[in-house]
Amino acid sequence: MPQSRRIIIDTDPGQDDAVAILLALGSAELEIVGITAVAGNVPLKLTEKNARKICELAGRPDVKVYAGAIRPLARELVTAEEVHGKTGLNGPQLPEPKMKLQDEYAVDFIVETLMSEESGTITLCALGPLTNVALALIREPKIAPRIKEIVLMGGGFFEGGNVTPTAEFNIYVDPHAADVVFKSGIPIVMMPLDVTHKALTTAKRTKAFRKLGTRVGTATADMLEFFERFDEEKYGTDGGPLHDPCVIAYLLKPKLFKGRKCNVSVETASELTMGMTVIDWWGVTKRPKNAMVMRDIDHDAFFELLLERLGRL
């Protein structure tokens, strides 16, 4: 078997974050070195607890979970309980986690891991606001060239935004952190709304998770049914976009996605367009091509992959 890819998942669960974590846990090709929680969909106290609930759901209390930033670099925290529910993980009834939160601060864990592990072997998977990642880069800039790749869910251009007409939630919550990350020179793969809005949790797909007949399958269906109701109403679609698992799916099957390398710059000044990811798709500026921006997905194959991997748990 080929050597597994070593990843740190930075996350704010969140039902779609939870499915992303389950996808990683169900995939032997990936080794989760640690999960770092950040404030986002709900406050940090809940996101770190939700990350532990999901590890336990998957029967993996051995995974190390760390708590990071309680708020964005410069702005007040904005949360999304209207989408994810009060706990951030409304839908299934999951027990309070027994596994312990690690004592180390998530930002220190990211820095220490990248400095001590062989350079170019750790991939960062960012599923929430980029606060922890930016803080790590600010604390120890030497980590930048040691990161193999950052694969992140965030931004949007052709689809517009989902919290303001121009901004996607993860980037909007901490645009200054996103700015640090996009200017870091680290290879970035970006999963914007332009691609995640094509990965819809239709009723048929949700039912297929329930049909697995396992605890993970049932909890996933319960999560998706809760999560999709908000977006179904908003967009008038059958199902809602399943954003964050696109990041993990890319690591497993990059060919599911199509995009192009271009410049991405983050708006941090104008209140009107705060957190907008300005994507130079047509290369009309001389700005450096700092990200592989995905725009298309083989959504049937994506959901087949999810079903198969979650079925292993």
Residues in the chain: 313
User: Is 44 or 262 the residue whose CB approaches Ca ion more closely?
Assistant: 44
Question: What does R_g of the chain's alpha carbons equal in angstroms?
Answer: 18
User: Is 168 or 179 the residue whose CB approaches ligand BDR more closely?
Assistant: 168
What letter would DSSP give residue 279?
E
Tell me: does residue 50 bind ligand BDR (CB under 6 A): no
Shortest Cβ 193–Ca ion spacing (Å): 12
Active site residues: 243
Shortest Cβ 234–Ca ion spacing (Å): 17
C-alpha span between 22 and 9 (Å, rounded): 11
Choose the stretch contacting ligand BDR; rule: CB under 6 A; options: 108-116, 166-174, 202-210, 256-264: 166-174
Choose the stretch contacting ligand BDR; rule: CB under 6 A; options: 47-55, 167-175, 198-206, 293-301: 167-175
Choose the stretch contacting ligand BDR; rule: CB under 6 A; options: 164-172, 265-273, 281-289, 294-302: 164-172
Shortest Cβ 170–ligand BDR spacing (Å): 5
What letter would DSSP give residue 128?
S
Q: Which two tokens stand for residue 305?
A: 């992959």
Choose among 230, 187, 194, 236: nearest CA to 82.
230
Question: Which residues in 109-148 contact Ca ion (CB under 5 A)?
Answer: 127-128
User: Is 196 or 290 the residue whose CB approaches ligand BDR more closely?
Assistant: 196
Tell me: does residue 46 bind ligand BDR (CB under 6 A): no
Give the pairing of strands 5-11 and 122-126.
Answer: parallel
Question: 215-254 b/e with 16+ CB inside 10 Å = b?
Answer: ebbebbbbbbbbbbeebbeeeeeebbbbbbbbbbbbbbee
* Residue whose CB is nearest to ligand BDR in the complex, by number: 169
Tell me: does residue 14 bind Ca ion (CB under 5 A): yes
Question: Which residues in 99-158 contact ligand BDR (CB under 6 A)?
Answer: 127-128, 153
Cis upstream peptide for 14 (omega within 30°): yes
Choose among 151, 134, 155, 138: nearest CA to 267.
155
Binding pattern for the stretch 66-105 against ligand BDR, x by CB under 6 A and - elsewhere = --------------x--x----------------------
Question: Which residues in 2-41 contact ligand BDR (CB under 6 A)?
Answer: 14, 16-17, 41
C-alpha span between 154 and 205 (Å, rounded): 24
Q: Which does 109 bind (CB under 5 to 8 A by kind): Ca ion, ligand BDR, none?
A: none
User: Is 25 or 80 the residue whose CB approaches ligand BDR more closely?
Assistant: 80
User: Is 40 or 280 the residue whose CB approaches Ca ion more closely?
Assistant: 40
The number of residues that bind ligand BDR (CB under 6 A) is 15
- Long-range Cβ contact pairs of 231-239 (< 8 A, separation 24 or more): 231/83, 235/197, 237/200, 238/200, 238/202, 238/203, 239/200, 239/201, 239/202, 239/203, 239/205, 239/206
Single-letter amino acid, residue 231? D
Q: Which of 79, 113, 170, 290 binds ligand BDR (CB under 6 A)?
A: 170
Question: Which residues in 212-251 contact ligand BDR (CB under 6 A)?
Answer: 243-244
Tell me: does residue 241 bind Ca ion (CB under 5 A): no
C-alpha span between 186 and 138 (Å, rounded): 14
Strands (E), 16-121: 30-37, 65-67
Task: Summarize as ranges the residues that interact with ligand BDR (CB under 6 A).
Answer: 14, 16-17, 41, 80, 83, 127-128, 153, 162, 168-170, 243-244
Task: Summarize as ranges the residues that interact with Ca ion (CB under 5 A).
Answer: 12, 14, 17, 127-128, 244
